[in-house]
Amino acid sequence: MSPFLSVRDLRVGFGRDPEINPVVRGVSFDVAAGETLAIVGESGSGKSVTVLSINRLVDFGGGRIVSGSIKLTRADNSILDLTAATELQLTKVRGAEIGMIFQEPMTSLNPVLSIGSQIEESFRLHRGLTGKQAHAAAKDALDRVRIPDALRRLNYYPNQLSGGMLQRVMIATALACNSRLLIADEPTTALDVTVQAQIMALLAELKRETGMSMIFITHDIGLVAGIADRVMVMQNGLAVEQGELNQILDRPQHPYTQHLLHAVPHFASGQAARTDGKRSSEAAPAVPALRVDGLTVRFPVTSGIFRRPAGAVHAVEGVDFDLMPGETLAIVGESGSGKSTTARAILGLTKSTRGTFSAITQETSARRSQRPVQMVFQNPYASLNPRLSVESILAEPVIAAGGRLDGRTRERMSMLIERVGLPINSLDRYPHEFSGGQRQRLCIARALMLNPAVVVLDEAVSALDVSVQAKVLELLVDLQREFNLAYLFISHDMAVVERIAHRIAVMYAGQIVEIGRAAAVLANPQHSYTQRLIAAVPTVSRRKEHFELDTRQVPSLVRRLGFEPGPADWTHFGADHKARAEAPTHLQTAG
């Protein structure tokens, strides 16, 4: 019996004859019906180009298949070589037989169309549904990927949703096609572990129900362990190793596979948590680098043709914490929990409804300069101006704060460039001349130009390869010790959080539900959501565990006009560990 998909000696390049740059070099693999193949490798390994070649989408990005064959066994048992298929044949194959979940939702979703219209289009084209049927199916699709207020969100546009929410929309759109082969390119990169576990459970359920095959691209070895039947490891356009899941994970043969497995941060349930940070309790207490009291952020909800106020989205509700110099507080929680909104409010990028926050001793608000607080963004490719030299990029915050590009500024530039591990000639270069890890080092240097007390790191290492990620984390720890920096570290990766955080705040439905020392929260979680969060962390050792679909209602953050929550009731579990008391239905209704 022939495989469902057979790829032989695939070679893909970019450019024009005779100067074609090879990106995929002689890759061969098979995917059987109902089988999941995981393709792993770091950025630039060729894994995304390989799968984009399967449905010939690489043609639209300046690439071309130089040689090889990609044979697909179709529903009528005929075999189609996709490398020689006509555009009409490819149109019939895309979506109906080969579905795709893309890595970047912001560039894959149409910004001028609502979320609902884009999902409904898939149901109309591939399921034959129309009108109310397509609308109802789109709402159900959002429910399945755990998006709260699904009916209301259908009218949202992509810019109104967080990155994690958009990734779930992408998954819902792809699943609407009911394809026989689903290609998932880093589909859970922007998702927290609880939603990630639900998406994996959903994909596993669909695989059982429909018998679909999957090609799953990821850099997360723990995630591979929970879904793959077979694994192919790619490096520099070559398939350096492939085989059964257990064989690759337990007995890797190629040095690069061994390197990848060694570089992955392994979650140790608090045993690997940092112990170097000391919160001052004896003698005179230190002044917090950042203090947040009662921070609340609400967004109005309107209805009717006159857009009358109908309620409010309680995105952040009554958040309190302090952050000491030299300390890292990690904020974790699912997408939509309010962690990024909290950071944006502190930085003045989002207007707060009420509450106070201060950096060192200077009161701050949405309209004042936030110089004591600087930020390192998630995507180093998008947060650096490609038209500016590194010197101009580093000078920008100084000039914006009223400073000048003088000898002292240049001296600090040179010091920071050297300190973040980049060559001194970097100042005359441009962002496109650096790798992703180097660009993130530039972002860190830029954030330190004004000598801030607090640095907000919003998913600052999630876009990096695991080996690069480890080096950047080491750099952050070294800089923290040298400059006594306070870090507000926002992440969905619990293994990374365990290695950098002194304390952890867990957010759910806009509120902090548990906060304490990292080792205590991870080893002895008290709130039911924290317990679910930690139980869902994918690891190689848990590869035999299977998560069940959570059918409970996702809590809504929309409240009626005038609604005010009651005071928080906390239970203490030691000097610096407390959890919010929860009603029996807390996680279903969220107040």
Q: In the structure, what pLDDT confidence band is assigned to residue 560 with cuts at 50, 70 and 90?
A: confident
156 and 251 co-located in one domain? no
Spatial separation of the C-alpha atoms in residues 236 and 46, rounded to whole Å: 7
584 has pLDDT over 50: yes
pLDDT mean over 294-308: 86
The number of domains in the chain is 3
SS (H, E, C) 523-589: HCCCCHHHHHHHHCCCCHHHCCCCCCCCCCCCCCCEEECCCCCCCCCEEECCCCEEEECCCCCHHHH
pLDDT mean over 431-450: 90
Dump pLDDT digits (tens) for 367-414. Answer: 333 478 999 987 787 889 999 999 999 999 999 988 889 999 999 999
Spatial separation of the C-alpha atoms in residues 384 and 405, rounded to whole Å: 19
The percent of residues in the chain predicted with pLDDT above 90, rounded, is: 52
pLDDT at res. 281:
46
Instruction: Indicate whether 459 belongs to any domain.
Output: no
pLDDT at res. 69:
97
22 and 62 co-located in one domain? yes
Q: What are phi and psi of 359, to 5 degrees?
A: -105, 125
Mean pLDDT check: name the lowest of 164-173, 275-284, 518-527: 275-284
74 and 198 co-located in one domain? yes
Dump pLDDT digits (tens) for 205-229. Answer: 878 888 889 999 987 777 778 789 9
Spatial separation of the C-alpha atoms in residues 245 and 225, rounded to whole Å: 7
Mean pLDDT check: name the lowest of 235-249, 287-301, 556-570: 556-570
Secondary structure of residue 160 in the 3-state scheme: helix
Secondary structure of residue 387 in the 3-state scheme: coil
Q: In the structure, what pLDDT confidence band is assigned to residue 432 with cuts at 50, 70 and 90?
A: confident
Bridge partners of residue 560, in order along the sequence: 311
pLDDT at res. 362:
37
Spatial separation of the C-alpha atoms in residues 101 and 217, rounded to whole Å: 10
Nearest alpha-carbon partner for 249 in 266, 235, 271 = 266
Contacts of 463 (CB under 8 A, 6+ apart): 189, 378, 379, 380, 381, 436, 440
Instruction: Choose the final residue of a domain: 178, 205, 220.
Output: 178
Instruction: Choose the final residue of a domain: 178, 203, 225.
Output: 178
256 within 8 A of 240, measured Cβ to Cβ = yes
248 and 306 co-located in one domain? no
pLDDT at res. 566:
85
Instruction: Indicate whether 217 belongs to any domain.
Output: yes
Instruction: Indicate whether 185 belongs to any domain.
Output: yes
Instruction: Choose the final residue of a domain: 178, 212, 244.
Output: 178
Contacts of 341 (CB under 8 A, 6+ apart): 297, 315, 316, 350
Q: Which domain holds residue 120?
A: 104-178
CA contacts within 13 A on the Cβ side of 278: 6
pLDDT mean over 44-71: 92
pLDDT mean over 430-459: 91
Residue 276, classified by CB atoms within 10 Å of its CB into exposed (0-12), middle (13-18) or buried (19+), is exposed
pLDDT mean over 497-525: 95
Residue 121, both tokens: 């289009």
Instruction: Indicate whether 479 belongs to any domain.
Output: no
pLDDT at res. 374:
94
428 has pLDDT over 80: yes
86 and 190 co-located in one domain? yes
590 or 312, which is more confident: 312
Instruction: Indicate whether 320 belongs to any domain.
Output: yes
CA angle 403, 406, 407 (to 5 degrees): 135
291 and 353 co-located in one domain? yes
Domain containing residue 516: CATH number: 3.40.50.300
438 has pLDDT over 70: yes
3 and 60 co-located in one domain? yes
Which helix (H) or strand (E) element contains residue 477?
helix 466-483
pLDDT at res. 379:
79
Spatial separation of the C-alpha atoms in residues 14 and 21, rounded to whole Å: 5
pLDDT mean over 333-347: 88
pLDDT mean over 121-130: 89
207 and 83 co-located in one domain? yes
pLDDT at res. 364:
38
pLDDT at res. 589:
40
172 and 186 co-located in one domain? no
469 or 409, which is more confident: 409
Bridge partners of residue 297, in order along the sequence: 316
pLDDT mean over 429-444: 90
Instruction: Indicate whether 398 belongs to any domain.
Output: no
pLDDT mean over 26-53: 93
235 has pLDDT over 70: yes
Residue 386, both tokens: 């490609």
247 and 190 co-located in one domain? yes
pLDDT at res. 52:
93
> Which of 504-515 are b and which e, b meaning 16 or more Cβ less than 10 Å from the residue's Cβ?
bbbbbbbbbbbb
Mean pLDDT (the chain) is 86
Mean pLDDT check: name the lowest of 141-145, 272-276, 290-294, 362-366: 362-366
534 and 569 co-located in one domain? yes
84 and 133 co-located in one domain? no
C-alpha to C-alpha distances, 36 to 30, 167, 300, nearest whole angstrom: 10, 20, 44
Bridge partners of residue 25, in order along the sequence: 11
C-alpha to C-alpha distances, 149 to 155, 297, 508, nearest whole angstrom: 11, 18, 15
Among left, alpha and beta (phi > 0; psi -120 to 50; other), residue 56 is left
Spatial separation of the C-alpha atoms in residues 180 and 158, rounded to whole Å: 27
Instruction: Indicate whether 32 belongs to any domain.
Output: yes
Q: How many CB atoms lie within 10 A of CB 365?
A: 12
Sheet containing 230-235: order of strands = 98-101, 181-185, 213-218, 36-40, 230-235, 238-244
DSSP 500: H
Instruction: Indicate whether 409 belongs to any domain.
Output: no
